[in-house]
Amino acid sequence: MAKNPLCWFEIYVNDMARAKAFYEAVLAVELETLGDPTDTSISMQSFPSDMEEYGATGALVKMDGVVAGGNSTLVYFSCDDCAIEESRVIAAGGNIQRPKMAIGEYGFISLVMDTEGNMLGLHSLA
C-alpha cells in the first residue's frame, strides 16, 4: 500500500443534533451538512478538512436501520494536546474512559465516549 490506509471515516449516531453538539464542543470545530437533502433516510454532518494537508476527514452519519455504538472501530482525532479536548468531554455530555496517557515515542492518547455510545481516541505528541 503506497498511501496512508485511511481515507474517510463515518461515525454512526442515533441523535444527530446531540452528536453534532458533542463533537463541535469537544473538538472546537464547526460541522457542515453533507449529502442529498432529498434523501431523508440518511443525514450527514462532515468534519472540516483541507485536502492539501495530511490526514483524512469524515462525517457523523444517521441512517435508517443503523444503530450507533458497539462496533470495534476506533477513530483517533489529532490534537495539539489531547488533554485540552479531553477537558471538554464531560461538559459536552460524554465520558472519559482513559485519561491522557503516554504511549511511548508515539505521544499521548485519551479514550472517551461520545453521547451516542461510540468510543473515540484523542492523540497528541505533547
Domain boundaries, the chain: 8-124
Q: Residue 15: what pLDDT? A: 96
Q: Residue 73: what pLDDT? A: 83
| pTM above threshold 0.85 | yes
Query: Mean pLDDT per segment of 10 residues, for the chain of length 126 residues?
Result: 77 96 98 84 92 86 87 89 98 97 94 95 95
Q: Residue 46: what pLDDT? A: 95
CATH topology of domain 8-124: 2,3-Dihydroxybiphenyl 1,2-Dioxygenase; domain 1 (3.10.180)
**17 with 42: CB under 8 angstroms?**
no
Query: What own/partner pairs with CB < 8 Å and gap ≥ 24 does 42-46 have?
Result: 43/16, 44/10, 45/16, 45/19, 45/20
Handedness of CA 80, 84, 89, 95 (dihedral sign): positive
